[in-house]
């Protein structure tokens, strides 16, 4: 049995009166790619934001490598080995590519040359653009930079929020190939995607979130055959 790196137990999150996550339980074991699919507003980003300490849950527990991080600060969670690539990239537009990467190193630690080298090997396009301002990169390059920045902390678990959103098909394929490569190098990946086809193809296990609750989970290939998933997320006409 692989070690459980990330365990979310009966998590509740509220935004004021809005109950955004209800009793969500979720886990990722060492060596897995776990996908989380769901429609707009289902609570996918909320779950990632709670895991990475950006939101304070109203109930439940989050453990990272055995430590209770339910109320830990974002920097502490990065230091424990969990990095988050947020929805919409959120790179620093006025900093150069290199400076953006350096911001991703462990809090309070100088970035290691080996870390930068690893990222630039994964993303040769960034290597050619180290002195360019982040804001002038194309959408696909910005996504590569956002992933690269998160990798600078050498995370055990990488949380990816809609990495393919808004990208042309060729770039979507490239991003998924890079996710595979990051996984092959030993990083556990939690992938949030609206692109359910790709998300279920790349993952070993998957969860389906609907309006704040987990409604299905299991091996990704089984979910891809599930009639409910096919109708709701894989764009198939249903018979009822
Ligand atoms: N800061 C906020 N204040 C109030 N409500 C919020 C806030 N952020 C999210 N919500 C609400 O919480 C619910 C879940 O939002 P969330 O962003 O987690 O969905 P999502 O599954 O990531 O959707 P998408 O696929 O569109 O990114 C939505 O109903 C949303 O309107
Ligand atoms: Mg989202």
CA pair distance 35, 207, nearest whole angstrom: 6
> Looking at the CA of 41, which ligand is closest?
1
Q: Which of 35, 38, 44 to mutate to test the pocket of ligand 1 (most atoms within 8 A of CB)?
A: 44
Asked if 83 and 159 touch (Cβ cutoff 8 Å), the reply is yes
pTM of the model: 0.95
Cα distances (angstroms) measured from residue 217 to each of 50, 206, 208: 20, 6, 6
pLDDT confidence of 240, banded at 50, 70, 90?
very low
Distance CA 75, CA 53 (A): 8
Query: Average of pLDDT values for 5-10?
Result: 98
Determine the pLDDT at residue 111: 64
Residue 239: pLDDT band with limits 50, 70, 90: very low
Q: What is the pLDDT of residue 51?
A: 98
Model pLDDT, residue 203: 98
Show the CA angle centred on residue 214, arms to residues 213 and 215, nearest 5°. 105
Beta-bridge mates of residue 21: 13
CATH class for domain 1-81+156-166+186-240? alpha beta
Strands 205-210 and 33-37, sheet pairing: parallel
111: β partners: none
- What is the per-residue pLDDT across 195-217, written as a single tens digit (0 to 9) for each? 899 999 999 999 999 999 999 99
Burial class of residue 130, CB neighbours in 10 A (0-12, 13-18, 19+): middle
Q: Which two tokens stand for residue 128?
A: 């050619």
Contact 145, 101 (CB under 8 A): yes
The whole-angstrom separation of Cα 212 and Cα 69 is 21
Give the model confidence (pLDDT) of 124-141 as tens digits: 999 999 999 999 999 999
Residue 50 Cα to ligand 2 midpoint, Å, equals 12
Q: Where are the domains of the chain?
A: 1-81+156-166+186-240, 89-154
Instruction: Using the atom order of ligand 1, give the atom closest to the CA of residue 87.
Output: 27
Phi and psi at residue 73, in whole multiples of 5°? Answer: -75, 155
* 60 in contact with ligand 1, CB cutoff 6 A: no
Section 49-70 average pLDDT:
97
| Through-space distance between the first and last CA atoms of the chain, rounded to whole angstroms | 39
How far apart, in whole angstroms, are the C-alpha atoms of residue 48 and residue 50?
5
Query: What are 82-103's pLDDT values in tens digits?
Result: 999 999 888 999 999 999 999 8
- Going by the DSSP 8-state scheme, the letter that residue 81 receives in this structure is T
Mean pLDDT of the chain: 93
- Say yes or no to pLDDT of 108 above 80: no
């Amino acid at each position: 049995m692989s070690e459980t790196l990330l365990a979310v137990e009966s998590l509740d999150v509220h935004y004021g009166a809005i109950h955004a996550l209800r009793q969500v339980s979720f886990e990722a074991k060492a060596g897995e790619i776990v996908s989380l699919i769901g429609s707009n507003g289902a609570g996918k980003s909320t779950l990632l934001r709670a895991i990475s300490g950006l939101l304070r849950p109203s109930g439940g527990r989050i453990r990272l490598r055995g430590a209770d991080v339910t109320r830990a600060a974002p920097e502490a969670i990065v230091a424990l080995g969990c990095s988050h690539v947020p929805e919409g990239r959120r790179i620093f537009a006025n900093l150069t590519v290199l400076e953006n990467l350096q911001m991703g190193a462990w809090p309070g630690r100088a970035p290691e040359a080996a870390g930068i080298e690893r990222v630039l090997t994964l993303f040769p396009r960034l290597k050619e653009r180290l002195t360019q301002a982040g804001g002038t990169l194309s959408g696909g390059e910005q996504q590569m930079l956002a992933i690269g920045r998160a990798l600078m902390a050498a995370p055990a678990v990488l949380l990816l929020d809609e990495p393919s959103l808004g990208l042309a098909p060729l770039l979507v394929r490239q991003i998924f190939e890079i996710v595979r490569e990051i996984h092959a190098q030993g990083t556990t990946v939690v992938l949030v995607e609206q692109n359910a086809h790709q998300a279920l193809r790349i993952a070993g296990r998957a969860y389906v979130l609907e309006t704040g609750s987990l409604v299905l989970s299991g091996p990704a290939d089984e979910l891809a055959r599930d009639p409910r998933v096919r109708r709701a997320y894989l764009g198939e006409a249903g018979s009822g």
